[in-house]
Amino acid sequence: MRFINRKQELEALDKFWKDKSSQLVVIYGKRRVGKTELIKRFIQAKPAAYFLARRISEKENLFSLGQAIGDLFNDITLKKRGFEKWDEVFHYLKERAGDKKPGRFILAIDEFPYLAEANKGISSIFQAGWDEYLKDMPIYLILCGSSIGMMEDEVLAYKAPLYGRRTGQLFIKPLSYLQARHFFPQYNFEEALKAYSVTGGMPAYILKLIGYPSLEKAVEEEIFTREKILYEEIEFILKEELREPRNYFSVLKAIGYDRTKVSEIINETGLEKSALHNYLFVLEDLHLIEKQVPITEKNPGASRKGRYYLKDQFFKFWFNYCFPFMGELELGNKLPSLKAFKDSFEYIVARNYEKVSQEVLHQYQDKIFILHRVGRWWDKNEEIDIVALNETTNEILFGEVKWSKKEVGTNIYEDLKRKSQKVEWGRKDRKEYFCLFSKSGFTPRMKWVAKEERVFLFEKDKVIQH
């Protein structure tokens, strides 16, 4: 897999490596987000054993682990016989940790949750192994997993046996738009944003779509084809994380259809309010959805204006174009999905342009003001696509985002100024700024007004006037 970005994550892992004390670092995040590639890039040219746990018996995994560690220490006997018990693993590592060669070393265990499936007490075993054998040894132990729920329960949670042992943790997120943009330098802005609106910044998904003559063809072949891995990806993820995913499917589908208020989700799913809140909490913990409130709310946690959105664009894509037509797709009939994709995908891209514009804005804060918070604002009757705040300097920026074939004119700007006066935040002596994002540019009149009133104009994902 092509390795792009992850500079911050690599720097964090290297910082732990430079610290000569023993390290237990936890890496977790959704499958196909690039965790394994990150680990392999980090351990290059370092004394390291990489072990990928599988859904096989504990005995078979112990044997394979012995082969991986035997490779590191050039131990032919260990490679042939493997390990039989976990105590042997920790005892062996402690013995070899004192050797001059290779000296300090890395043991990376990928898909740790699969070990937990085979042995419910694996976290306690590793806790004892760390406490009794490894904590004072020159070892850098990495525990990595794709099941966010299980990694949190088994490793990160306060009640988990390994709690307090880890020296660092990295939650690997999907790439942002600006990061993912490097995967397709040949694409223009519109093509890149559309590809991102399908993949959601997941490196493995992006690579699946590259190489086709069009995005539509890529979607047809890689997502709407039942033999391809992306076809069942969402179902696989949910079944990995949730014991009874049926009601979660209903909630995610409702949110994917822009039923973002609690009342709308209840009407769509038929779930009781108390039950729904439990489902929402779980999905938030799994980083599958996010609750948004108007950016100016003083106490976001207590706000009654919350709305729920899917965090991952691929989830939104799948629930709009695969899930509703699964029966036909199972029969090999792709036409209903393709028609829905052609009819409504521009709307999804337009909403994603709003999200991407907030990201782009951060790249230009040196020309505006330091952005403490960026988000959306709404009340019962009005919405503003972008509101950015600096609470120290009492500065506020209002922005509108337009995914249209028409140039943006002064009418959009005047309406934005009108709506901005309904925002009560920092009303006393606040300093106001305005910006407009447009896929298709701006009218000459709007450009003239922008110069006169110092409005920041962004065409596509680049500032053209400030």
Domain boundary among 118, 153, 171: 171
Q: Which domain holds residue 375?
A: 363-465
Region of residue 140 (left: phi > 0; alpha: psi -120 to 50; beta: else)? beta
> What is the structure's pLDDT at 297?
92
State whether 77 and 135 are in the same domain. Answer: yes
Query: Residues of the chain with pLDDT > 90: what percent?
Result: 82
CATH label of the domain that carries residue 148 = 3.40.50.300
> What is the structure's pLDDT at 101?
65
58 domain-assigned? yes
State whether 159 and 62 are in the same domain. Answer: yes
294 domain-assigned? yes
pLDDT at 19 over 80: yes
State whether 195 and 102 are in the same domain. Answer: no
48 vs 73: CA distance, rounded Å: 9
State whether 15 and 155 are in the same domain. Answer: yes
**Confidence band (pLDDT; 50, 70, 90) for 438?**
very high
- Three-class SS of the chain: CCCCCCHHHHHHHHHHHHCCCCEEEEEECCCCCCHHHHHHHHHCCCCEEEEECCCCCHHHHHHHHHHHHHHHHCCHHHHHHCCCCHHHHHHHHHHHHCCCCCCCEEEEEECHHHHHHHCCCHHHHHHHHHHHHHCCCCEEEEEEECCHHHHHHHHHCCCCCCCCCCCEEEECCCCCHHHHHHHCCCCCHHHHHHHHHHHCCCHHHHHHHCCCCCHHHHHHHHCCCCCCHHHCHHHHHHHHHCCCCHHHHHHHHHHHCCCCCHHHHHHHHCCCHHHHHHHHHHHHHCCCEEEECCCCCCCHHHCCCCEEEECCHHHHHHHHHCHHHHHHHHCCCCHHHHHHHHHHHHHHHHHHHHHHHHHHHHCCHHHCCCCCEEEEEECCCCEEEEEEEECCCCEEEEEEEECCCCCECHHHHHHHHHHHCCCCCCCCCCEEEEEEEECCCECHHHHHHHHHHCCEEEECCEEEEC
187 domain-assigned? yes
State whether 239 and 119 are in the same domain. Answer: no
State whether 20 and 163 are in the same domain. Answer: yes
State whether 113 and 149 are in the same domain. Answer: yes
> What is the structure's pLDDT at 380?
87
State whether 144 and 47 are in the same domain. Answer: yes
Query: Residues of the chain with pLDDT > 70: what percent?
Result: 98
| Cα–Cα nearest to 149, from 17, 249, 67, 237 | 237
CATH label of the domain that carries residue 375 = 3.40.1350.10
> What is the structure's pLDDT at 2?
54
Segment 210-227 mean pLDDT: 94
Those residues with Cβ within 8 angstroms of residue 282's Cβ, 6 or more apart along the chain or in another chain? 242, 248
> What is the structure's pLDDT at 342?
96
48 domain-assigned? yes
CATH label of the domain that carries residue 199 = 1.10.10
268 domain-assigned? yes
Segment 383-389 mean pLDDT: 97
pLDDT at 73 over 60: yes
State whether 325 and 407 are in the same domain. Answer: no
State whether 341 and 314 are in the same domain. Answer: yes
**Confidence band (pLDDT; 50, 70, 90) for 1?**
very low
Domain boundary among 327, 355, 383: 355
2 domain-assigned? no
State whether 399 and 458 are in the same domain. Answer: yes
140 domain-assigned? yes
State whether 333 and 432 are in the same domain. Answer: no
**Confidence band (pLDDT; 50, 70, 90) for 4?**
low
pLDDT tens digits for range 325-354: 999 999 999 999 999 999 999 999 999 999
326 vs 224: CA distance, rounded Å: 9
Label residue 301 exposed, middle or buried (CB < 10 Å: 0-12, 13-18, 19+). Answer: exposed
Of residues 27 and 97, more confidence is placed in: 27
**Confidence band (pLDDT; 50, 70, 90) for 278?**
very high
1 domain-assigned? no
Domain boundary among 355, 388, 406: 355
How many folded domains does the chain comprise? 3
